[in-house]
Structure 1
Amino acid sequence: MSFAPEKYYGINQCHQYSEIYWSNLWWELQDQLPEGSTVVSIILVIDETQVNLLGQKKVHPIYLIIGNINKAQQCTYSKNGYIIIGYLPSLEYSGPEKNKSAFIDTKHLLYHIAIFFILEYLKIREKTGVMMKGPDSRNWWYFPII
């Protein structure tokens, strides 16, 4: 896990961008923060998952991934690189309602409201930061960036 921006150069001193914390944006964000604090990149992934054999029942879990974790570890189930933070609600529909614009608009609105409530706490912490103990046992300010 990386707690500071890094730069890696490959052949011919070409800047590599494989990890999010290798980016120029990460350096810019880190420069705006107070001393003793660090950026924590929050990545959200929504994936429709079937919960029965016929595929008629589906859920939409929201996974949270910390961008500071190496990509290889983020995607490895055994490394616990991601967690489920919630589920998006879904609207059930019958045949004729499925393609009506009012139903589609309501479905989109429901998703946006649900995401808003899920992200509300993190949006506040983007500005104020969160004091937590770091891997070096010192207290650090962490600023989540969504």
Structure 2
Amino acid sequence: MDKMNISQLSYSKYCVLTHNRQDYFFHYCPIKNCIKNLLSNPDILKNLMFRYENSKIEDEKSYGEQNSGNWWKRAERSISNHANILSIILYSDATTTDTLGKSSLHPIYVSLGNIPTWRRNKEDAKQLLGYLPILSAKNEKEKKSSEFKELARETFHNSIKFLLDPLFQGDEYPL
């Protein structure tokens, strides 16, 4: 990440944990920047869904998109008529980065539930937020210990909290 020189992507790193005298960094792009990038794509904008749709197929309720769900309906009723719901989707999966399967990364991506599924599956409808740290154990015994597993969970939760905190800050510059 540090060696990449791509002007549109301003990745930073944040030390989430020091374990066994090793620092673990969360490499990330601010989530608001990623959401702004998605919302600045004209091809995505023309397909965004902001209002609840009571979808039915042959007189039966259909839940094909997020905005057809009952939670969307309730959430929409709870906000001002001048506001919209922005559904944020985060997803991650470990990825092997070498042919021997010994090196891996844990990328995390963001997309929007306001984008129809058929459109959200296209490459430009998601943004790479960053890479979650993967802890290394001293040995197999430590790796299988409940303390190490708890530390791995705590590291994940601290990384996600750090990533999402800007969305809950009461700043004067919303998305």
Aligned partner of 1:95 in structure 2 is: 140
Q: Residue 119 of structure 1 aligns to a residue in which SS?
A: helix
Q: What is the identity percentage for the equivalent residue pairs of Structure 1 and Structure 2?
A: 28
Aligned partner of 2:127 in structure 1 is: 83
Counterpart Cα distance in 2 of 1:124 and 1:83: 21
Structure 2 residue runs of 5 or longer lacking an equivalent are 1-47
User: Structure 2-normalised TM-score?
Assistant: 0.67
> Pairwise CA RMSD of aligned residues?
1.8
Deviation at 1:124, TM superposition (A): 3.7
1:67 counterpart letter in structure 2: G
Q: Which has the higher contact order (CA 8 A, sep 6+)?
A: 2
Aligned partner of 2:12 in structure 1 is: none
Aligned partner of 1:104 in structure 2 is: 149
1:90 counterpart letter in structure 2: I
Distance 1:103 1:84, change over 3 A: same
Deviation at 1:110, TM superposition (A): 0.8
Counterpart Cα distance in 1 of 2:81 and 2:120: 27
Moved more, 96-105 or 13-22: 96-105
Structure 1 residue runs of 5 or longer lacking an equivalent are 132-146
Counterpart Cα distance in 1 of 2:154 and 2:102: 23
Q: Residue 97 of structure 1 aligns to a residue in which SS?
A: helix
Counterpart Cα distance in 1 of 2:141 and 2:50: 52
Distance 1:106 1:60, change over 3 A: same
Structure with more strand by fraction: 1
Q: Residue 53 of structure 1 aligns to a residue in which SS?
A: coil
